[in-house]
A and B are shown apart, each in its own frame.
Chain A
């Protein structure tokens, strides 16, 4: 499997006069497991959107394996292997879970252009859908409409769809949001069996999940990278403690 390095150079994005991302230099290396943390409003989701091509930067560049992809849209970046999940679940509620994942497989493998051959004849692709559902533990509910699933398990459909697109880089925007803390290990279990070549960038407020998952952590504060390092270094860093203690909402678990 090919690998990929994702970089940003002096990336800026402002909404009106408000700078949400400022001068971010960031690198995600092949196979890396990195988390991006920061208080609410630090610009984490904006940063993911800049990487995924949903938003364009005000200035600066995004590079994939050294190639400038700043001007490429979302769909083109997906084809280059940049996959992502959404903070707020975005699925096809009336379609079954298997249909949801099939849509992604069909786009990825270029069969969605076919007008008349029945879906049932695409045995190979259907087998891949079942394999993906098995991997995220949804085989037993494959035939249910997504809207009947509990929210926590809908998050797993998000991950299955992202994986269906054969990403080299996976951007996970709060995959555990809506999942009770006691069950966030399910997400961790799934992430831990992903192919090691896939580079993963995880955003989450569940510090337990973040510190167990990440090899490297970047801390984003007011649109800038404050500090980067291993989980131990980050936990011990006085600046990080100050930022999180100053923000009581999400500070408790980080300070602990």
Chain B
């Protein structure tokens, strides 16, 4: 966790090292060149990774397991979408509004349910998402109900880049949002606040006994996570120019949790691994057997959870450790 001080970096200049660390991001930015035509799919993957990152803050770091995270994704999506229908179409402004409203929703729900724990909390997160789903379903005048929100239309990003048919603008716009979110989340989990969340996850009674205001900390992270989920929802609305009831439903809440567990929660990169694996598997398996592909996924998940509780990343970590041990032995 804390590096050895005073060890000079002789291999390469610092700036170059920093650049090298950004290589994966540069590779992502170059994807449209390698996979022309796949921009919309990859954009969806970025959006879901961002959504997964927001969930990881709760599940992986604060120990709050939720089956209702789509609530905030949906609030974000509908906020951005409804604003655009009413002529307010600046992408960044509407995304900020989406984050604010999702955060407010998180504050209200979190304030009501975060005093509970375990199964009760899990049920209440579900219930709060169902509540919003029903409201969106019934308020057809505002949301379009089951038909989805019609007439969504966003202005060019920064007034310059129009959302094009090929999906290039949406691709770079989502990638940029994901990049900044990643930087923020990484800073957050390495801050004293982030450490205190891990303390609460591991032993909340003990955290209380060192004077930590548990409820306040949990509420703060719930609100932050809700805001980021709202951002993901807004990006979804902007990149697809459509908001459907799906963005609030239970399946989405469940899927994003599965993707995170698949990749490995509490590891920062879990969503980066789990989301593409899940979505590519979904894409491929659904092609072969559209009706039963969930069966295959179920089997993979059961195997992973029982044999490798840390997800794919946990598995990789163990393999790396085994190799290291063998080398040193």
Interface residues in chain A, defined as those with a beta carbon under 8 Å from any beta carbon in chain B: 52, 54, 74-75, 78-79, 84, 86, 90-96, 98-99, 102-104, 106-108, 111-120, 122, 126, 143, 161, 164-165
Contact = CB atoms under 8 A, between A and B. Distances in A.
Chain B contact residues (Cβ within 8 angstroms of A): what range? 20 to 34
B193 A114 contact: yes
A120 B207 CA distance: 21
A54 B194 CA distance: 26
A112 B192 CA distance: 5
16 contacts: A52-B209, A75-B211, A78-B209, A84-B209, A90-B206, A103-B195, A103-B207, A106-B192, A107-B196, A107-B211, A111-B192, A112-B193, A112-B195, A114-B191, A126-B2, A161-B210
Given A75-B213, A143-B1, A119 B195 contact: yes
In order of increasing CB-CB distance, the 8 nearest A-B pairs are: A78-B211, A92-B202, A116-B187, A106-B192, A112-B196, A103-B199, A104-B210, A90-B206
A246 B123 CA distance: 52
Contacts of A122: 192
A13 to B, nearest CB: 19
B190 A107 contact: no
A115 B191 contact: yes
Contact of B211 (A98, A108, A118): A108
A122 to B, nearest CB: 7
B306 interface: no
Contacts of B209: 52, 54, 74, 78, 84, 86, 90
B112 interface: no
The binding surface of chain B is classed by DSSP as: helix
A161 B202 CA distance: 16
B205 interface: yes
B1 A96 contact: yes
A174 B68 CA distance: 44
B188 to A, nearest CB: 6
Contacts of A113: 192-193
A94 B1 CA distance: 13
B267 interface: no
Contact of A74 (B193, B196, B208): B208
Contact of B195 (A54, A78, A106, A164): A106
B281 interface: no
B211 A117 contact: no
Contacts of B16: none
B180 interface: no
B205 A118 contact: no
B211 A79 contact: yes
Contacts of B187: 115-118
A87 to B, nearest CB: 13
B288 interface: no
B184 interface: yes
B2 A98 contact: yes
B192 A114 contact: yes
